[in-house]
Amino acid sequence: MKRILLVALLLPFLLVGCGQADENAEVNPDPNDEYEPNENDPSVEEEDPTNQGNQDGQEEHLAVDELMAQYRDLASSKGKFAADEQYKVQEFQSKEEIVAEAEKFLTREFAQEVADLRYEDKEDGVYIIPMDGPVTLDETKDYNLEKVSGTEYRLTQEQTSDLHGNVQLEVIFVKQADHWVIQDVNENHA
Quote the CA–CA distance of 151 and 116 in Å, as a whole number. 27
Report phi then psi at 105, rounded to 5: -135, 0
Query: Under a CB-based contact definition with an 8 Å cutoff, are residues 94 and 126 in contact?
Result: yes
**Residue 170 pLDDT > 70, yes or no?**
yes
Is-above-0.85 flag for pTM? no
Instruction: Give the model confidence (pLDDT) of 83-127 as tens digits.
Output: 999 999 999 999 999 999 999 999 999 999 999 999 999 999 999
Three-state DSSP class for residue 112: helix
Instruction: Give the model confidence (pLDDT) of 32-54 as tens digits.
Output: 343 343 343 333 333 332 333 34
Instruction: Give the model confidence (pLDDT) of 144-165 as tens digits.
Output: 999 999 999 999 999 988 888 8
Angle at 45 (CA atoms; ends 44, 47), nearest 5 degrees: 135
Which residue ranges make up each domain of the chain?
Answer: 59-128, 144-189
